[in-house]
Structure 1
Amino acid sequence: MMEEYLIVDGYNMVGDWPELIRTSEASLEEARNQLIKMLADYQGYSGMKVIVVFDAHQVPGLGAKEKEYKIKVIYTKEKETADECIERLVTELAHRKRNIHVATSDYVEQRVIFGKGALRKSARELLLDIHESRKRVKTRIEKQSKKSSYTFDSKLSSDVKDIFEKWRRGEK
């Protein structure tokens, strides 16, 4: 069984996805949080291990790793770009039993990570995948809720239904 990883260039998605662009105009922090939540949902559906990298190379002293919603969030170190961090992660994670996907629309970065054995996914492709997974989850939930209520009631005999109805009304 192949392990699946998705490494996401966070600010690349924020600068490309229409809903995140609008949010970032008011609050970059809120756009990051919204992206992380979307990726967490996607991780839950796809089964991929998701790592999102935010570029902080111009912020002195920064460089942090944290977990939010079971997503690994990395803020790059001082003087390290997101592209450098992503390339390092691809090298570290490279293994015969792993598929590594990198989500970025940066053409040069796509070429570099492809050369290291990772698969590329554009910002647009990832957004389409996320929307598709949301539709599938919604459909599955609707089917399950219809099936659950229908099958429970349909499996009861009329005698048992009568007993339950009397209990509900407080009758003996």
Structure 2
Amino acid sequence: MKFIFIDGYNVINSWSILKKEKEISLDSSRQKLIDILHNYGAIHQCKIMLVFDGYRVAGNLENKYEHNKNLTVVFTKSGETADAYIEREIHNIGRRFEVSVVTSDSLEQQTIFQRGATRVSSVEFYNMVFDTSEDIKRATSKMGQSHKSTVQDNIDEDVLRKLEAMRRG
């Protein structure tokens, strides 16, 4: 089982398509990221933990979770950063699973290495996600093309001539 922990706001601020969406609405940029990650997790059959910190949000007394098959969205409680949540969860998982953390935070990178996880920068992850997206588009476009096969395409020329002679009598 592979786990991918993602610092949500770090990714939103690193991906241009999400930054533009954020200018319209933070909620819509979060939702767009959730949709993208849901597809990615389903294709790669991994568990994704998308963490948004509640560090500066007053009133969140406990972590809030939204589960959807391969994707769990976490909104941390007030005063807790996404980094702190991710570090704690990686520590709890231990080295039993393959774990990657998506963040461009250099301090966080050092901590996750010590706990046995690998780091993927937000930009690297963007490329991974959209390479997968392009692969899917290519595969589905090939499936949509007709691959008709006629008897004539699969018969030897000699047999075809004999059949034609029989047809004409």
The TM-score by the shorter chain falls in which range? Answer: 0.7 to 0.9
State the shift of 1:156 in Å. Answer: 7.3
Q: Give the equivalent residue in structure 1 for 2:58.
A: 60
In the alignment, structure 1 segments of 5+ residues that lack a partner are 158-172
Aligned residues with identical type, % of pairs: 33
Please say if 1:87 is aligned against 2:82. no
Q: Secondary structure at the match of 1:61?
A: coil
Please say if 1:71 is aligned against 2:88. no
Q: Give matches, 1:1-172, under 5 Å.
A: 3-62=1-60, 63-68=63-68, 70-96=70-96, 98-146=97-145, 149-150=146-147, 153-154=148-149
TM-score for both structures, normalised by structure 1:
0.81
Larger radius of gyration: 2
State the shift of 1:155 in Å. Answer: 6.4
Counterpart Cα distance in 1 of 2:43 and 2:134: 11
TM-score for both structures, normalised by structure 2:
0.82
State the shift of 1:58 in Å. Answer: 2.0
Counterpart Cα distance in 2 of 1:52 and 1:155: 50
Pair 32,154 (structure 1): closer, same or farther in 2 beyond 3 Å? same
Q: Secondary structure at the match of 1:95?
A: coil
Contact 2:95 2:116 (8 Å CA) reproduced: no
Q: How many residue pairs were aligned?
A: 150
Counterpart Cα distance in 2 of 1:100 and 1:140: 28
Q: Which runs of 4+ in 1 moved over 4 A?
A: none
In the alignment, structure 2 segments of 5+ residues that lack a partner are 153-169
Q: Give the letter for the 2:113 counterpart.
A: F
For residues 3-25 of structure 1, give each alpha carbon's deviation from its aligned partner in whole angstroms, at most 9, with x where no partner exists.
Answer: 11110000000111111111111
State the shift of 1:70 in Å. Answer: 4.1
